[in-house]
Structure 1
Amino acid sequence: MRRARGFTLVELLVALFALALLAMLSWRGLDGMARAQERTAERADEVLALQIGLAQWTADLEALVQIPQLTALEWNGRALRMTRRGTASVTDGLRVVAWTRRDGQWFRWQSPPLVTRGEVAAAWLRADQWSQNPGDAERRDEVMVTPLEEWQLFYFRADAWTNPLSSDATAGVGEATGSTTGGRATGIIPDGVRLVLQLPPGRAITGRITRDWVRPTVGGGKS
């Protein structure tokens, strides 16, 4: 009888090498798929965060309130501060909200519910302090929205987009609010607010984004 022939050492080494090569190629494929899935999820989270931030921006503007001797909307070059209705119920009082860019990020800050003019005035000052040098108490009430290189704001007044800090801010006070304090208009809400965001590269959405808001009462409620 003929003796059965087995594998030689060289043949075993070649087989092991082939199996190792296939395993390495398979691992690279799986690792690439996992990385791609993780990157896609990160991109989706970035887009969702930006969408939520812009939706909140619009909601804040839609909830602006004009109360005599209180400022409804003000841009001081650092932060946009607003006095808006509460969100929980009609008895929730008012809230002061602020938006600013700090340390390359776009932030939103919100006060607790406010029921007196003194509380609103104090929250208004806290919002300005938060935009410059926030403390631990202010940081607890802030939310980071998205990385941001720069941003610009424009008001639509007298049929034109203008700088919020221009002298036109006091034009039409009687029509807008019917209230002035020492020659300074209070609670002025322009016909529109334009937000221009410059998003950094390397993100899911980059470049310039423009968001326009129109005051609902403009044109008698007609679109």
Structure 2
Amino acid sequence: MRSCGGFTLIELLVAISVMALLAVLSWRGLDGMARSQAQTSQRADEVLNLQAGLGQWKVDLDSLTQTPQISNLDWDGRVLRMTRRATTASDGLVVVAWTRRADAGGQWLRWQSPAVRTLGGWNDAWNRATVWAQNASVEDRAREVLVTPLVNWQIFYFRGNAWSNSLSSDGAAQGNAPGVAQAVGPAVLPDGIRLVLELPPGQAISGKLTLDWVRPTLGGDR
């Protein structure tokens, strides 16, 4: 008499247990891949944001204006203000400001005013940039762009064949009190500007990052 072929209950339980184990291992593998992909994407976004911010920083400096009766560059230790040409020359000028603000999570921020065509309009935008760096209004927040988290940042000017702290450089600023614009004419731009960013740990790029800018009209012997 032939015995009927088949699986015993124990064999079925063993098979089910193995399948369950394989399913768990497969899920963990897929979950790990998904987490790794998300982390890689986040790191890539962080790098792209930083690159875009540094690119915009260079564009702003390259576009600085030498218009009579207005300041073109001023750093007070908190905010760097610039007067630059608008994207379209016929639009006039814009005031751009860069700062790190605690109420924005320690982010490095860029702000840009609407285009201005008059000295009065420039004065308003210049002073508004200082106020924005200290206590931004809802309207001004709408005009700011978050670039990257920062621990700290510094600016140095290159003059007389040497780098020095921009706050102590002769002629580095107009000498105006913070928030008070005066029609005193443009400052003589430094030969170079060094930006030092201290990026927090945990980012795609961390530690100190240094970027040097050289004035485009500087002679080739320097």
Number of the residue aligned with 1:94: 93
Partner of residue 151 from structure 1, selected from 123, 142, 153: 153
The answer to whether the 8 A contact 2:156-2:166 is kept is yes
Q: Classify the secondary structure of the residue corresponding to 2:90.
A: coil
Percent identical pairs in the alignment equals 61
Structure 2 residue 164 is the aligned partner of structure 1 residue 162? yes
CA distance in 2, matches of 1:66, 1:127: 19
Contact 2:172/2:187 (8 A) holds in 1: no
Tell me how far apart the structure 1 counterparts of residues 39 and 48 of structure 2 sit (CA, whole Å). Answer: 14
State the TM-score, normalizing by the size of structure 1: 0.90
- How is 1:8-157 mapped onto 2 (pairs within 5 angstroms)? 8-87=8-87, 89-103=88-102, 104-157=106-159
**Root mean square deviation of aligned Cα:** 1.8
Shift of 1:166: 1.4
CA distance in 1, matches of 2:57, 2:190: 16
Structure 1 residue 187: deviation in Å?
Answer: 2.9
Letter in 2 for 1:91: S
SS in 1 for 2:190: coil
Q: Number of matched residues?
A: 211
Q: Distance in 2 between matches of 1:142 and 1:205?
A: 23
2: CA distance between counterparts of 1:215 and 1:49? 24
2:95–2:126 contact (8 Å) kept in structure 1 = yes
Is residue 215 of structure 1 aligned with residue 215 of structure 2?
yes
Which consecutive unaligned segments of at least 5 residues does structure 2 have? 174-181
Give the ranges of 4+ consecutive aligned residues of structure 1 lying more than 6 Å apart after TM superposition: none
**TM-score, normalized by length of structure 2?**
0.90
Tell me, in whole angstroms, the C-alpha distance in 2 between the residues paired with 1:170 and 1:94.
21
Residue 176 of structure 1 is matched in structure 2 by: none
Give the drift of 1:29.
Answer: 0.8
Residues 129 and 193 (structure 1 numbering): CA distance in 2 closer, same or farther, change over 3 Å?
Answer: same
Q: Deviations over 1:100-155 (max 9, x none)?
A: 01121100000011111111110000000000010101101000000000000001
**For the Cα contact (< 8 Å) 1:83–1:94, is it kept in 2?**
yes
Aligned counterpart, 2:178: none
SS in 2 for 1:45: helix
One-letter amino acid matched to 1:102:
R
